[in-house]
Amino acid sequence: MGKRVGMVAAVLAAATVLLVSGPAAYALAAPTVPATIVVPGGNVPFLVAHARGAQIYKCQPSSQAYAWTLTAPAAVLKNGSNQLLSSTLGS
């Protein structure tokens, strides 16, 4: 499951970056960011996506008490036409 979580995190992070720097059709203003992460000129977005999700936790007994343990992420990634691009929820 660790590989899948890492892959989903990477996709969601990329979608967030693309959403923030999306095409003019979405009328998104570029945020002020540190110079180390400014997108070089000439680059254009190839995808604008919207992510929605949650982290699912379970309360389980630990050595002397109870503790919240991450069970799984629950997230979906959709394009501007609301079509599903990716999901951690299975098929």
Q: Which DSSP string corresponds to 30-51? A: PPP--GGGPPPTT---S--EEE
* pLDDT, average across residues 79-91: 84
> For the chain, how many structural domains are there in total?
1
Average pLDDT value for residue range 64-82: 90
8 membership: H or E segment, kind and range: helix 2-20
Looking at the DSSP bridge assignments, the partners of residue 87 are: 76
Structural domain containing residue 74: 2-87
Q: CA 50 → CA 60, 62, 78, 91, distances in Å? A: 32, 37, 5, 19
Segment 7-64, tens digit of pLDDT: 555 555 555 555 544 444 555 566 788 999 988 888 777 778 899 999 999 999 988 8
Amino acid at position 25, single letter:
A
